[in-house]
Structure 1
Amino acid sequence: MTPPSGSELLQALECMGRPRVLVLGDVMIDDYVFGRVERISPEAPIAVLNVEREEQRPGGAGSVVGMLRRLGAAVRLLAVTGDDAAGDLLASLLARQGVELDGLVRDPARPTTRKTRMIAHDQQVLRVDRERAAPLGAELEKTLIERLAAALDGVDVVLVSDYAKGLVTPGLLAALRTEADRRGIGWIVDPARGRDYALYRGASAITPNRAETAEASGERPADRASWERIGRRFVETLELECALLTLDRDGIFCVPRDGEPLHVPTEPRQVYDVTGAGDMVLATIGLARAAGLDWAVAAELANVAAGIEIRRIGVAPVSREEIAAEIRSRGEPEAHKIISLEAFVGGPLEELRRSGKRVVFTNGCFDLLHVGHVKMLQFARAQGEHLVVGLNSDRSVRQLKGPGRPILAEQDRARMLAAIGAVDHVIVFDEPTPLALIEAIVPDVLVKASDYEGRPVVGRSIVEAAGGQVVLAPLVGGVSTTRIVERLQQVERGAAQAARRAAQALYAQVERAAEGRVGERREETP
């Protein structure tokens, strides 16, 4: 397979449309308990978590559903929950995401699976599981098989998210294989660890991680030769179209039935939490295949999406726009910081709020970036844990500063800001003031320069009404863009005057030389 170019990936994202996807798998509730560890318990040598907040999200196959919805797919779900309060909560969480739930069946014989993660300082310190991992009873399996036929109507692809909690039975997968083949619908499996992969025979593809690959194949996936050997074995024995081995630091290795394998390497990045990376791969590959894209494009897009996912805490869905921004930033490690307001509010901001991070906002034109700007940005970042910079667009700067400005285009100004370590995100805005940004973000801290002392600050009322504060940053004396421009103009005028004097001197010299030659010719004339 030939690796797709960045422009081909961007075009693929634009042309995906809104495919319909059926997710079949084990759903659960992911509980997150956020807090701080500041002491050791006197009762035992364990940390004491001081809880600050809690939240619940759909997990397992439910997280695949959420990711697909964020990616713009229409989603149906075929799954089982307990007939309990947790099941009610999970159904409510899924309904809020706009998922079709006709295939969600309640089982009074089992509890709804819950995984509770204790998180302190952006790190998991403990996980508590409540579950009953047992195969479905015969009657419940029959009910799901009956609902499967209706669930398959009009869908473009089926994703099987197997967490070995009991839903993915041989009987249910046999029914899926028969119906999907009859209708020409592909189905892709994220397999469970410890399962006999013969269960997945006839699937379009499987997406095992490194540990699952080693366990299912009996061989350690250590290098390209072993990846290809294992992938070929999976394709042949399981009658797959493609095996996609997800190899964490080594990216994705894609082995199609026809054609050469493709290695999609990862790019170096800071990893905060690998939770949800496998679900993100499954969701993105499923979306791409549902849209009719080939395996190479699907693998590349999935690798990009998973790379964004692991930079966040917990399972955090990723949008197409974020994937596109990441693709555009290749070769420019900091370019992913430049983001639209919609993408920031729908992605990173949600995660920042969930993790309790203190968000700081400042804004400006930042034309001809100088030491005063850098000092102010460093001051702003020190007021919290995440600095968002609103940047006036070219049109906005012209409105504020006149037709001769900006000197540098907005893309160049944004890229220079993104290169500063203190800056976490840059959002370009077209209005004269950042009011719309502040209304959407509602930062914990709004930073302006100290020359705003006694002057109105746009957005102050919004921030303070939400319990935030406005902080004024000290100015660096004698430095401003205006002064730099004036100095450049002086230098330019001085250079122009020097050039005119030099030209005049040269012209006078040429004239004298010309007059001398004329005199010489007159003397030579008889």
Structure 2
Amino acid sequence: MKLVVVGDSLLDVDVEGTVSRLCPDAPAPVLDVTAEHPRPGGAALAAAMAARDGVDVTLVSALSADETGERLRSLVEVPAMFGHVDSVPVKTRLRCGGTSLARLDRGGSGRPRVTDDMLDAVLSADFVLASDYGRGLLRDDRLRRVLTRVPVVWDPHPRGPAPVPGARLVTPNLPEATAFGGTDDPDEAARVLRERWRARAVVVTLGSGGAVLHSGGTPVAVPAAPVPAADPCGAGDRFAVAAAVLLAGGAAYDEAISGAVASAGEFLRGGGISGLRAPVPSTVEEVRRRGGTVVATGGCFDVLHPGHVRMLAAARALGDCLVVCLNSDQSVRRLKGGGRPVNHQDERVEVLRALESVDDVVVFGEDTPSAVLGRLRPDVWVKGGDYTAELLPETEVVRRWGGRTVVVPYHRGHSTTEILSRRA
């Protein structure tokens, strides 16, 4: 099943710190910053959640061509098709002890431009999740026409447009349903909105109160198990993703909503949005703390052979730790075709970590390692081959933070393709 998440992407930043005093000129807390955690938000967050569920997912969204857009692009770990927007919205939360003190919003100007490639990506989907954050992408007339031709779950926003007619499911929360439907009664709001939007079903989510589903006939109340949650951020996205995946798999509406309510609860029980942060390996952080050199390399490493081993040893000798950026199974399949990989990613990770030269392995799902490089920010990027560093697209990526690219010798006669062809 191929899922496309289409909608507005944001850059979310959590600035963590401690508070032990007030400002001398106002009764405002002083946050002593200890960490900053950027992460994808909006549609990009929903796509990340689907990918972590093992779904074959593509993100269709719009990014700006500035530093903020590039920063968000580096955090997106799924295949993506981007149009252009003047500036990406940035939401910065100032947090202490698991509680938000304030939120700073900036950016988000301009109307997103939709390309033909974006429309083609949506049409190629088996199922679509429309993740609206009120920034304009889902107002595009061409995109809306395309969305009437594919099965879609629509996660609405008060500043966004109405869902396209015929949506399989629309998932407003109670404040959104009240704003759209003019009533704070969830049963009545679900009924009114289903008729107004000509949707097959509408579910009004109620946080700890579960959800109310209207798919024709009598509304169905779906309870939620009690979950202590100080930070509900992202729970709505978790709900919408789970509902879309379950419906795409053939679940009935009540089954899909029950599963989505449970999934949102598990998400909150597991730490919420903080549990989704893509961590930098502790080895990398430790090497950086002591002023060492972080080296990274990447590839499929499907059938490990002497050429791989020699290249990895040469790469490790260039610094104080070596991180291997490993193509996921889906990424290998797109790059190498049917029948590959021979060894699944968990097996490839296990073998690589067993090598003395490898300190850690990070799996990425895109066709290129640009996004994971933006997160790791290695001092040295190493490739084995018979080409020059200037011809590698990663060279320009690594230069952004002052890193360099090194090519180590290519060992002829040793390649996975040659090994498999001999076996055949």
Determine the C-alpha separation between the residues in 1 that align with 2:187 and 2:272: 31
1:5-404 equivalences in 2 (<5 Å): 19-94=1-76, 97=77, 99-101=78-80, 103-107=81-85, 110-136=86-112, 140-141=113-114, 143=115, 146-178=116-148, 180=149, 185-197=150-162, 199-221=163-185, 227-257=186-216, 259-311=217-269, 315-316=273-274
Determine the C-alpha separation between the residues in 1 that align with 2:274 and 2:221: 26
Paired position in structure 2 for 1:325: none
- Residues 127 and 283 (structure 1), Cα distance of their counterparts in 2 relative to 1, 3 Å cut: same
User: Is the CA contact 2:136–2:160 (under 8 Å) kept in the aligned structure 1?
Assistant: no
- Residues 162 and 188 (structure 1), Cα distance of their counterparts in 2 relative to 1, 3 Å cut: same
Pairwise CA distance, 1:134: 4.5
- Residues 33 and 312 (structure 1), Cα distance of their counterparts in 2 relative to 1, 3 Å cut: farther
Partner secondary structure for residue 241 of structure 1: coil
Q: Give the aligned residue type for 1:246.
A: T
Pairwise CA distance, 1:194: 3.8
Determine the C-alpha separation between the residues in 2 that align with 1:252 and 1:274: 15
Determine the C-alpha separation between the residues in 2 that align with 1:294 and 1:315: 28
Aligned residues: CA RMSD? 2.5
Pairwise CA distance, 1:173: 4.4
User: Is the CA contact 2:40–2:75 (under 8 Å) kept in the aligned structure 1?
Assistant: yes
Residues 394-425 of structure 1: CA distance to partner in whole angstroms, max 9, x if unpaired? xxxxxxxxxxxxxxxxxxxxxxxxxxxxxxxx
Pairwise CA distance, 1:44: 1.7
Partner secondary structure for residue 115 of structure 1: strand
Pairwise CA distance, 1:256: 0.9
Determine the C-alpha separation between the residues in 2 that align with 1:172 and 1:213: 26
User: Is the CA contact 1:70–1:317 (under 8 Å) kept in the aligned structure 2?
Assistant: no
Q: Give the aligned residue type for 2:154.
A: V
Pairwise CA distance, 1:92: 1.5
Determine the C-alpha separation between the residues in 1 that align with 2:83 and 2:260: 30
Pairwise CA distance, 1:57: 0.6
Comparing 25-34 and 161-170, the one that deviates more: 161-170
Pairwise CA distance, 1:119: 0.9
Residues 202-234 of structure 1: CA distance to partner in whole angstroms, max 9, x if unpaired? 22111000100111111112xxxxx33222222
Residues 424-478 of structure 1: CA distance to partner in whole angstroms, max 9, x if unpaired? xxxxxxxxxxxxxxx99xxxxxxxxxxxxxxxxxxxxxxxxxxxxxxxxxxxxxx
Pairwise CA distance, 1:116: 0.7
Structure with the largest fraction of helix = 1
- Residues 316 and 244 (structure 1), Cα distance of their counterparts in 2 relative to 1, 3 Å cut: farther
Q: Give the aligned residue type for 1:166.
A: G
User: Is the CA contact 1:135–1:169 (under 8 Å) kept in the aligned structure 2?
Assistant: no
User: Is the CA contact 1:63–1:315 (under 8 Å) kept in the aligned structure 2?
Assistant: no
- Residues 151 and 203 (structure 1), Cα distance of their counterparts in 2 relative to 1, 3 Å cut: same
- Residues 312 and 37 (structure 1), Cα distance of their counterparts in 2 relative to 1, 3 Å cut: farther
Greater C-alpha Rg: 1
Determine the C-alpha separation between the residues in 1 that align with 2:91 and 2:61: 17
Pairwise CA distance, 1:316: 4.7
- Residues 112 and 194 (structure 1), Cα distance of their counterparts in 2 relative to 1, 3 Å cut: closer
Pairwise CA distance, 1:242: 0.8
User: Is the CA contact 2:135–2:160 (under 8 Å) kept in the aligned structure 1?
Assistant: no
Pairwise CA distance, 1:66: 1.0
Q: Please, which runs of 5 or more residues in structure 1 have no aligned partner?
A: 1-18, 222-226, 319-345, 354-438, 441-526
Pairwise CA distance, 1:195: 4.0
Q: TM-score, normalised by structure 2?
A: 0.62
Pairwise CA distance, 1:296: 1.4
Determine the C-alpha separation between the residues in 2 that align with 1:116 and 1:279: 18
Partner secondary structure for residue 187 of structure 2: helix
User: Is the CA contact 1:83–1:112 (under 8 Å) kept in the aligned structure 2?
Assistant: no
- Residues 219 and 173 (structure 1), Cα distance of their counterparts in 2 relative to 1, 3 Å cut: farther
- Residues 69 and 193 (structure 1), Cα distance of their counterparts in 2 relative to 1, 3 Å cut: same
Q: Give the aligned residue type for 2:84.
A: R
Determine the C-alpha separation between the residues in 2 that align with 1:23 and 1:58: 13
Determine the C-alpha separation between the residues in 2 that align with 1:206 and 1:173: 17
Determine the C-alpha separation between the residues in 2 that align with 1:89 and 1:148: 21
Pairwise CA distance, 1:133: 4.7
- Residues 287 and 114 (structure 1), Cα distance of their counterparts in 2 relative to 1, 3 Å cut: same
Partner secondary structure for residue 200 of structure 1: coil
Q: Please, which runs of 5 or more residues in structure 2 have no aligned partner?
A: 283-358, 361-424
Aligned residue pairs: how many?
283
